[in-house]
Amino acid sequence: MSLRLKLLFLSLITLVLPWAGCQYAGEMESALRTAEEQSLSAVAQTIAASLQGRDDLLYRQSGTAIADAGEFDLEPLTLPGAPVIDGDAGDWPDMPPAAWKTFRQPPDTLRILSGLHERMLYLLLDVRDNRLVFDGQDATPREPRTFGDRLWIGYQNPDGAEEQVLIAATGSGPVQARRIEMRELGEEVAVVEPRIAAAWQPTLGGYRVELRIPLSLLGNRLGVLVDDRDARGAEPKSYGSLRPEDLHTRGRLIAAAPELGNYLTQFLQPGLTVTVTTPRNAALAQANAAPPATLAPRRGFLARLYRRFLDQPGERRTLEAAALIHDGQGRQVIGQLRVTQSSDRWLTLRDRALTALLNVTLITSLIAVSAMFAFAARLGWRLSRLRRASESALTRHGLVTTFPETRSPDELGDVARSFTTLLRRLDEYTGYLRTLAGKLAHEIRTPLTIVRSSLENLETEGVATAAAYPYLARAREGSERLAGILQAMSAATRVEEAIQHAERTHFDLVPVIGSAVAAYRGAFPQRKFTIEVPDEPMPVEGAPDLIVQLLDKLIDNAVDFSSPDSTIAVRLASEAGAARLQVENTGSALPQENPGKIFESLWQSRLDGDSRPHFGLGLYIVRLIAEFHEGHAMAANIPGGVRFTIELPLPS
């Protein structure tokens, strides 16, 4: 991993500041919520205490909900709006199954949904009937033969008297409620009750009846009876085995007193909702206060992101407290009170404060990360300069002793200055080694001349015994080898000097190689030479004389290591933007451990039994000339021999 990435990851630790801010905001929100819940609970207890023993304020009829719930009791829901009386349940709010009152008398079923809105009682009656029968068009109370399915609604009026209305239809749509009155001579007459609106709609497997009854008509009790007939004019299968004339109100109508809503209003606070229910959790009345004017919530991307981290899944957005309402003696529950308050206001304040806090910490973190990244980039760039300088310190002209960052006062400056000192000392030592061969050749030449002349004098004067002549021959052979070494060292020194002073020109490599190989055929008649060169010109930039000298060293090496009558192959080709010169010869293989060592100065790979003078400078000169032309030299073993390859760049 690069240094800049390490520093970048290290700087990301500053992101703990926004996280800590979120944790602090969460703790603060929890404390605020707890305080709000306690305050709301105190409000609920206060309102419930004011309603203790006030069943006359809770219910239309005193004592309505104190007794246990009966089978036929109705507890109407509070409706948000008035449903349209059309027999369709689409404009009723979605109610849970528990809101329906269900009565089963196989094979029929009656379900009742009741609701209150603006002093009106709404009933939705769903009857499951396997055979729907409408009244005849000319049905009258005196013609039972025309009677079909019908409903009877029984109720107590405010004075406590029992009354009944009949709901029967000749088809779907609006239907009139009728009240049976006794006239003179016992005559029964169906009188329309205009204050009750009704509608009848067939359904799959039965029918549905929707009613609207003014609460001013009703007392404390209400009942419904299904008059089911399998055919028009058939005997009724009255629900519950009752006859219409025997119908009495079967259950209580548990509804709130009209004054309850106004009474709850005096306790309202901004954003507060107060709900009173029966002991069985049926709503009686509800009072709402307009929410307080709050600051507009932040809607930016960061605000939504912060809320995403803070808001827990399934978290309630409202606060709620409940209290029981008891009778005057405090023994029996006559109702329940629930106080609800929206948390939008203080959540908005929390969001604004948190957004400001997190924006500051996030901006601070971004600045820190950016500064750290910029510092890491700057540091990486400086290190890259040092790396590039160290990689390019060794050139064909020598060592580059000037290093970047040497004027910097920090640790990198210390490193650069240390490298500069090291390179200067190394350059001095390399210069000494570079001139050592010439100095040795100059210094050894005079003693070697003395030794050679002394040996010649001993041989010509005849003072040596016969036994000494073998030793004299060996001494002469050693002096000749030493003279060859001095000559090779002088040649290498001259080549280095020639490379330093050589002028670059553009020339065609093809004729240079061709003329040189033609000369080798005459110089080495014991070897066969083959040449492969392209037909088109191959221009390069450099010194032609040095290229010929490079090829001379390669051919000399090939001749030394190959047997007589063997073939030396010379190839020249262009490949991947470079001129590739190859020389192949048969002979012993190169060392496997490191073939590149053969291009080093004074390196030997010959067997000890080889008496020919070889001093390891020829291939060293080849490498120097290749590097002068910005190329490189390679060697590799091939089946039965060795291949030397020189690659020189071609001008673009």
- pLDDT tens-digit map of 591-607: 776 666 777 765 555 54
SS3 label, residue 30: helix
- Contact indicator for 177, 163 with CB cutoff of 8 Å: no
Report helix angle 544-561 to 618-628, nearest 10. Answer: 150
Q: How far apart are CA 220 and CA 225, in angstroms?
A: 17
Residue scoring higher pLDDT (77 or 515): 515
Confidence of residue 307 (pLDDT cuts 50, 70, 90): low
Closest CA to 190 of 223, 234, 241, 146: 146
In sequence order, what are the beta bridge partners of 189?
Answer: 181
For residue 15, pLDDT beyond 80? no
The pLDDT of residue 201: 94
Closest CA to 209 of 197, 196, 200: 200
Confidence of residue 239 (pLDDT cuts 50, 70, 90): very low
Residue 255 neighbours by CB distance under 10 Å: 28
DSSP letter for 146, please: G
SS3 label, residue 285: strand
Q: What is the mean pLDDT of residues 413-418?
A: 86
SS3 label, residue 53: coil
- Alpha-carbon dihedral 547, 551, 552, 556, rounded to 10 degrees: 160
- Return the minimum-mean-pLDDT range out of 324-338, 424-438, 502-516: 424-438
Confidence of residue 611 (pLDDT cuts 50, 70, 90): very low
Q: What is the mean pLDDT of residues 84-94?
A: 89
4 contacts: CB under 8 Å, gap ≥ 6: 373, 376, 377, 379, 380
pLDDT tens for each residue of 369-399:
788 878 888 888 888 888 888 888 777 666 7
Measured CA to CA in angstroms, residue 252 lies from 58, 68, 116, 303, 464 at distances of 15, 11, 15, 53, 157
From its phi and psi, is residue 327 left (phi > 0), alpha (psi between -120 and 50) or beta? beta
pLDDT, averaged across the chain? 80
539 contacts: CB under 8 Å, gap ≥ 6: 506, 507, 508, 509, 650, 651
The pLDDT of residue 303: 63
End-to-end alpha carbon distance in the chain: 37
DSSP letter for 88, please: -
Residue 618 neighbours by CB distance under 10 Å: 21
Confidence of residue 585 (pLDDT cuts 50, 70, 90): very high
The pLDDT of residue 48: 92
Identical fold, 77-252 and 503-649? no
* 77-252: in CATH 3.90.550: no
- Return the minimum-mean-pLDDT range out of 12-16, 238-242, 393-397: 238-242
Confidence of residue 2 (pLDDT cuts 50, 70, 90): low
The pLDDT of residue 603: 57
Q: How far apart are CA 192 and CA 177, in angstroms?
A: 6
Q: Please list the alpha-helical segments (H only) found in 395-468.
A: 411-461
SS3 label, residue 338: strand
Residue identified by tokens 């105190």 is 42
For residue 235, pLDDT beyond 80? no
Measured CA to CA in angstroms, residue 224 lies from 157, 169, 417, 514, 538 at distances of 15, 16, 106, 124, 114
The first and second tokens of residue 354, run together, are 């948190």
- Return the minimum-mean-pLDDT range out of 59-73, 76-90, 107-121, 333-347: 59-73
- Return the minimum-mean-pLDDT range out of 153-162, 232-241, 263-272, 408-417: 232-241
The pLDDT of residue 607: 47
The pLDDT of residue 245: 56
- Return the minimum-mean-pLDDT range out of 209-213, 331-335, 410-414, 465-469: 465-469
Residue 310's identity, in one-letter code, is: L
- Contact indicator for 455, 448 with CB cutoff of 8 Å: no
Q: How many CA atoms are closer than 13 Å to the CA of 590, on its beta-carbon side? A: 22
Q: Which helix (H) or strand (E) holds 95?
A: none
For residue 308, pLDDT beyond 70? no
- Contact indicator for 568, 529 with CB cutoff of 8 Å: yes
Residue 464 neighbours by CB distance under 10 Å: 13
For residue 262, pLDDT beyond 80? yes
Q: How far apart are CA 27 and CA 29, in angstroms?
A: 5
Confidence of residue 469 (pLDDT cuts 50, 70, 90): confident
Q: How far apart are CA 426 and CA 430, in angstroms?
A: 6
DSSP letter for 93, please: P
Percent of the chain exceeding pLDDT 70 equals 81
For residue 210, pLDDT beyond 90? yes
pLDDT tens for each residue of 122-170:
999 999 888 888 887 666 656 666 788 888 898 888 888 888 898 988 8
288 contacts: CB under 8 Å, gap ≥ 6: 268, 272, 273
What's the CATH class of domain 503-649? alpha beta
Q: What is the mean pLDDT of residues 42-58?
A: 90
Q: How many CA atoms are closer than 13 Å to the CA of 316, on its beta-carbon side? A: 9
Domain extent listing, the chain: 3-58+258-358, 77-252, 503-649
Q: How far apart are CA 533 and CA 545, in angstroms?
A: 19
The pLDDT of residue 483: 76
pTM beyond 0.85: the answer is no
For residue 319, pLDDT beyond 80? yes
Q: How far apart are CA 39 and CA 271, in angstroms?
A: 14
